[in-house]
Amino acid sequence: MIINLENKIATGNCVLVVPIFEGESPKNLKELPSKVSEFFAKVKENKEFLGKKGEKLYTYIEDKNLPEKLFLIGLGKKENFKYRVAKETGAMIGKQLKAAKAKEATIFLPNEVKQFITEILEGLLISQYEIDKLKTKFSKKENHKIDKVKLFTKLDKDIVEEGLDKAKTMAGASDYIRDLVNYPSNIVDAPYLANEAKKIAKENGYKIEVLGKKELEKIKAGGILAVNQASRKEPKLVVLEYKGAKNKDEKPIAIVGKGIVFDTGGLRVKPGAHMDEMHQDMAGAAVVLGLFKVLKKMNIRKNVVGVMALAENSLGSDAYKPSDIITMLSGLTVEINNTDAEGRVVLGDAVTYSIKYKPKSIVTIATLTGAVYVALGHKYSGLIANNSKIRRELLQAGRESDDLGWPLPLHPEYKKAMDSKYADVRNNDKETASAAGSSKGAAFIERFVGKNDWCHIDIAGTAFTDRPKPYETFGATSSGFYMLLRFLEK
Ligand code: BES
Ligand code: MN
Ligand code: ZN
């Protein structure tokens, strides 16, 4: 889709999209041809279209000087038009144009949407995502593509162009993350993700370090090695460095992502239905890659270190076993009580490695626990922290990008629940595993965080969906990406 700022309404076989606020008077549409405001006046009078949020009206117009089709879309009340509604509006426009098989459209942007141009255009772009990239000529149906979109507005050209630029960059990263998460693990494995990191580093001039099996053995990253032990493929620990702060020596923010390319559960094998979606267990690492795709382009003024713990939790005679006691990179010994609690084990090592970079704060992002879905469902990622300031900032960033988080507690008792009889710590509280499972998972990670400021984002409930929001599609959502980007932008 090519989007241009062009202050002319096209004619002929194309659609004119007119967003309208609830309660708007037709007189206020003076930027548009009178035929449009007359039409709106009529449907408003007949109560056929009032501009309520999500309201749609699609019709033909007969006028040589106008496009053939007109699409009115309701924005709801002006005071409620913020991040989420803007993104949803863009997506509704995108989905409607697609459904109507439109090739060209002119979208009118009223002055009042000035602050949310990025969100509208981002919604428009991400709504076009398709999940059938691996279909071939044998079954692929042709997906309808909108070729050209013109933006018609009285707003300042610079503002619109800046918003458009940002929207394109963000939507590109969101599509990229969603592909990585949707693709299965026979394609997207640990070496594949490490290679993607290399490509991103090369494109942007970032420093990168990739540790394979040999290097991980050398530094004794016992956690990542144990989890990957039954896999035919190599584990990887990848570090990307971006220096965007004025002061290149400023302490970085470390973002550490779980990259389990497939989670069978290990010897504590997952029941069928639960295993089916576990190629998506690398969504945290995919968010790290997506962020590094845009940090430089968006000129983010921070130093950021991205760490990805990439492994496959497989099973077989080589697999790590319940009751194994392993020694982590930090030196801490861990009693493996449940081989399915593998995310925290690889993250423990990755967090320890990130501390080498003397971070100002650490953010871990992971599809860590089924319990977070039980607690918060599809709408909220769980945020667990040893520092309420970072947590607050992340929650706020989530509200401003409709990538919501909700706080979950880290009580001393939950921390104690991870004590082991035989080792320094255990990876599962076997007596009451199902109670406060997300907090306990985070409590395990905290043992490796030490005194560093830290917030953990559990995206197990939000990273993929079978009940997509208006701007989402079935499957991966790229949740966590928007929240973190917004957080880093500030
Ligand atoms: N990858 C899963 C968590 C998960 C579940 C992600 C559902 C997405 C959807 C994680 O490795 C896991 O298996 N966690 C266990 C932890 C338990 C053994 C303490 C869980 O949630 O059951
Ligand atoms: Mn697991
Ligand atoms: Zn997992």
* pLDDT at residue 10 in the model: 87
**279, 261 Cβ separation under 8 angstroms:** yes
Atom 18 of ligand 1: nearest residue by CA position? 341
Query: Residue ranges per domain, the chain?
Result: 2-155, 185-489
Which numbered atom of ligand 1 lies nearest the CA of 463?
8
Residue 344 designated active-site:
yes
Region 308-325 average pLDDT: 98
* pLDDT at residue 469 in the model: 87
User: How far is Cα 111 from Cα 22, in angstroms, rounded to an integer?
Assistant: 15
User: How far is Cα 384 from Cα 456, in angstroms, rounded to an integer?
Assistant: 5
């992502």: which residue's tokens? 257
Give the mutation target among 181, 280, 281 for probing the ligand 1 site: most ligand atoms within 8 A of CB: 281
Atom 7 of ligand 1: nearest residue by CA position? 370
Percentage of the chain beyond pLDDT 70 is 100
Q: How confident is the model at residue 273 (pLDDT cuts 50, 70, 90)?
A: confident
Which residue in 69, 270, 426, 440 is the catalytic one?
270
Q: Is the pLDDT of residue 109 over 90?
A: yes
Radius of gyration of the chain (CA): 24
Give the mutation target among 227, 339, 340 for probing the ligand 1 site: most ligand atoms within 8 A of CB: 340
Neighbours of 132 (CB within 10 A): 10
**Residue 461 alpha carbon to ligand 3 centre in Å:** 12
Which two three-digit tokens encode residue 180? 């990585």
Mean per-residue pLDDT over the chain, rounded: 96
Which numbered atom of ligand 1 lies nearest the CA of 263?
1
pTM: 0.97
**Residue 81 alpha carbon to ligand 3 centre in Å:** 37
pLDDT tens digits, one per residue of 394-452: 999 999 999 999 999 999 999 999 999 999 999 999 999 889 999 999 999 999 999 99
Q: CA 77 → CA 54, 117, 166, 369, 481, distances in Å?
A: 11, 17, 26, 38, 28
Q: What residue ranges line ligand 1, CB within 6 angstroms?
A: 263, 281, 338, 340-343, 367-371, 428, 433, 437, 460
Residue 268 designated active-site:
no
**Residue 135 alpha carbon to ligand 3 centre in Å:** 27
Ligand nearest to the CA of 280: 1
Give the mutation target among 368, 456, 457 for probing the ligand 1 site: most ligand atoms within 8 A of CB: 368
Q: How confident is the model at residue 124 (pLDDT cuts 50, 70, 90)?
A: very high
**Residue 437 alpha carbon to ligand 1 centre in Å:** 9
Q: Is the pLDDT of residue 201 over 90?
A: yes
pLDDT tens digits, one per residue of 452-467: 999 999 999 999 999 9
Which numbered atom of ligand 1 lies nearest the CA of 274?
7
Residue of 109, 49, 113, 50 lying closest to 78 (CA atoms): 113
Residue of 355, 250, 242 lying closest to 300 (CA atoms): 242
How far does CA 290 lie from the centroid of its chain?
A: 8
Which residue in 44, 166, 258, 344 is the catalytic one?
344
Atom 5 of ligand 1: nearest residue by CA position? 370
Which numbered atom of ligand 1 lies nearest the CA of 342?
11
User: How far is Cα 103 from Cα 180, in angstroms, rounded to an integer?
Assistant: 28
Ligand nearest to the CA of 370: 1
| Residue 71 per-residue DSSP state | E
Q: Which CATH number fits domain 2-155: 1.10.260.30, 3.40.220.10, 3.40.50.300, 3.40.50.10490?
A: 3.40.220.10
Q: Is the pLDDT of residue 8 over 90?
A: no
Which numbered atom of ligand 1 lies nearest the CA of 369?
21
pLDDT tens digits, one per residue of 19-68: 999 999 999 999 999 999 999 999 999 999 999 999 999 999 988 889 99
**Could you confirm whether domain 185-489 is CATH 3.40.630.10?**
yes
* pLDDT at residue 437 in the model: 97
Region 130-159 average pLDDT: 94
For β-strands 464-465 and 453-458, DSSP reports them as unpaired
